Amino acid sequence: MGLAKRIIPCLDVDAGRVVKGVQFLDIRDAGDPVEVARRYDRQGADELAFLDITASSDQRDTILHVVEKVASEVFIPLTVGGGIRQLEDIHRLLHAGADKVSVNTTAVNNPAFIKKASDHFGNQCVVVAIDAKRVGSEGSLRWEIYTHGGRNATGLDAIRWANRMVDLGAGELLVTSMDRDGTRDGFDLELMKQITDAVSVPVIASGGVGTLEHMADGVLLGGADAVLAASIFHFGEFTIEQAKRHLATKGIEVRL
């Protein structure tokens, strides 16, 4: 027995509400973030991830209040992403009670920021979020990095990018398949496997969970250290505990 695989529910927060869209369309309201966080904590979530998708800058502080509130009653690790551009943004989130931050667009625009953040706060709190999309076809299959919620192509190769981010100081990678995100068709296991084989840091698999079997696949076939999911938990389909029990029946070590 040893280190458990983690289940991380993800809360997309827009102006103080949890929302969830299917491939960035049809955004459904999934409740008050503090309420939702409490519920997942009770169900045995191993960590919580918050992604701030608030578009308007005057509501930027909303996420800080959410984190502060959650951190005063939920005592598991909290990762917060969205709109992180400078060290001061990280400082404010950590001060509010976040343990890790996830950085996506800023890492692409300014890779040196990852080194700066890691040197300053330690690599344990720097998660690089990698949004990757399949390009090319059978035989020459590869993945390209996208930013801005899958809208902007960067030309960067996902596997090389993952290695580079770890070299610069990422302590963990959050890998999302843009092809699968919101589809409920399961993770892009080839993508996950290539990245988990390539890097020495823990990898969180994300994008596409629709069944508990998908989560087990992420660990057993994708090699993930943690799996992240949103909609299957938000709308009461499964509890975290059910997910963990399912993983345990597959021989995966979990915290029950």
Partner 1 sequence: MSGIVIANLGTGNLRSVSKAVEFVSGHAATVTADPNIIENAEHLILPGQGAIGTWINQLNLDPVLKKAVESRVAHGPVLGICLGLQALFDHSDESGGIYGLGILPGSVRHFANGHREADKGSVEEEHKLKIPHMGWNQVYQVGEHPLWQDIPDGERFYFVHSYFVEAANNVDEVGQCTYGNVFTAAAARKNIFATQFHPEKSQRAGLQLIKNFINWNGV
Nearest-approach distance from CB 245 to partner 1, in angstroms: 16
Looking at residues 163 to 202 of the shown chain, list those that interact with partner 1 (rule: CB under 8 A): 171-172, 200-202
* 206 vs 217: CA distance, rounded Å: 12
Among 46, 131, 144, 181, binds partner 1 (CB under 8 A): 46
Q: Of how many residues is the chain composed? A: 256
> Please, are residues 230 and 240 in contact by the beta-carbon 8 Å criterion?
no
Contact between 50 and partner 1 by CB under 8 A: the answer reads no
CA dist 59 → 25, 53, 54, 63, 87 (Å): 21, 10, 7, 8, 19
Strand partners, 144: 133, 157
- CA proximity to 204, closest of 131, 96, 112: 131
| 3-class secondary-structure state, position 98 | coil
Q: What is the spatial distance between Cα 171 and Cα 225, in angstroms, rounded to a whole number? A: 13
Stretch that binds partner 1, among 21-29, 57-65, 69-77, 81-89 (CB under 8 A): 69-77
Number of residues forming the site for partner 1 (CB under 8 A): 34
| Three-state secondary-structure class, residue 26 | strand
Candidates 28-36, 90-98, 138-146, 176-184: pick the segment binding partner 1 (CB under 8 A).
90-98
Q: CB 88 → partner 1: shortest distance, Å?
A: 16
Verify whether residue 157 is a known catalytic residue.
no
Minimum distance from residue 255 beta carbon to partner 1 (Å): 4
Is 12 among the residues known to form the active site? yes
Q: Is residue 28 close enough to count as binding partner 1 by CB under 8 A?
A: no
Residues 131-170 that bind partner 1 (CB under 8 A): none
Q: List the catalytic residues.
A: 12, 131
